[in-house]
């Protein structure tokens, strides 16, 4: 991604607009992060070294401040690196991250993997196993390639080149000797307030019924996860 295109991309996403409030963490997003990753972030008896790659509007960086004072922000878009630096984070571009010798307890990368080709994904996981400390974790969120309900996410951005399901992720990780999958699951639905709870319940119920029908009509009883997004927790073994 060229610098000029990256800046336009950030503008389209409204990440670098003053009204977007860099680091804003809505209650619904906070609920999702807490349900998916809070148990691991809260398990350390020290301040873990954390990095986020492709931090966008910085919401996960803000979330991590509740668990650590050692947070690095990594981006390819220069204006976002500047925003994160002004917000008080140790920020750098992706090429500098790849070259430095720092290692981390946790690395997060959300809504980025779908921008990679298969070879770029393999190269990325090879890099990650060298950037994680033994026992460290990689957090991922990406559109669910197994679900038709993810198509608005996947096809709504022309820079998306890979549609990743559970099996594809397993193949990537199986090609990287020091990494193992801890879990790959539906991203928790935000359920803040009564309306949020009702919406979450209706979506889960609808998806469950459709998944049951598809499994028994088309897939010989094999249940398909129809959630719009997946999250994965991946661990470096040694």
For the chain, which domains are there? Answer: 3-190+228-236 (3.40.50.150)
In this predicted structure, the answer to whether residue 1 has a pLDDT above a threshold of 70 is no
In this predicted structure, the answer to whether residue 18 has a pLDDT above a threshold of 70 is no
Query: Lowest-pLDDT range, 8-17, 24-33, 163-172, 173-182?
Result: 8-17
In this predicted structure, the answer to whether residue 187 has a pLDDT above a threshold of 90 is yes
What would the pLDDT profile of 148-171 be if each residue is shown by its tens digit? Answer: 889 988 999 999 999 999 999 999
Pick the more confident residue, 226 or 173. Answer: 173
Average confidence (pLDDT) over 224-228: 88
- 189 band by pLDDT with thresholds 50, 70 and 90: confident
What would the pLDDT profile of 123-134 be if each residue is shown by its tens digit? Answer: 999 999 999 999
CA angle 51, 126, 88 (to 5 degrees): 10
In this predicted structure, the answer to whether residue 106 has a pLDDT above a threshold of 80 is yes
In this predicted structure, the answer to whether residue 2 has a pLDDT above a threshold of 60 is no
| Cβ-defined contacts of 47-50 (< 8 Å, 24+) | 48/104, 48/105, 48/106, 49/102, 49/103, 49/104, 49/105, 49/106, 49/133, 50/104, 50/105, 50/106, 50/107, 50/108
């Amino acid at each position: 991604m060229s610098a000029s295109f990256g800046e336009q991309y950030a503008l389209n996403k409204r990440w670098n607009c003053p009204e977007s409030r860099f680091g804003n963490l809505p209650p619904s997003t906070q609920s999702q992060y807490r349900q998916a990753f809070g148990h691991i972030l809260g398990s350390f008896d020290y301040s873990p070294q954390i990095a986020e790659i492709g931090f966008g509007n910085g919401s996960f960086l803000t979330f991590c401040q509740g668990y650590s004072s050692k947070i690095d922000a990594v981006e390819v878009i220069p204006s976002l690196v500047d925003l994160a630096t002004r917000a008080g984070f140790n920020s750098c571009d992706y090429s500098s991250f790849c070259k430095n010798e720092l290692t981390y307890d946790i690395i997060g990368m959300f809504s980025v993997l779908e921008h990679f080709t298969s070879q770029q994904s393999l190269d990325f996981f090879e890099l990650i196993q060298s950037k994680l400390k033994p026992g460290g974790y990689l957090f991922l969120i990406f559109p669910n390639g197994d679900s038709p309900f993810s198509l608005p996410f996947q096809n709504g951005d022309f820079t998306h080149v890979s549609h990743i399901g559970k099996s594809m992720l397993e193949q990537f990780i199986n090609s990287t000797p020091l990494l193992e999958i801890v879990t790959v699951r539906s991203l928790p639905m935000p359920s803040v307030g009564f309306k949020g709870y009702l919406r979450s319940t209706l979506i889960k119920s609808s998806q469950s019924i459709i998944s049951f029908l598809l499994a028994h009509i088309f897939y010989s009883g094999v249940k398909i996860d129809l959630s719009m997004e997946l999250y994965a927790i991946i661990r470096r073994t040694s």
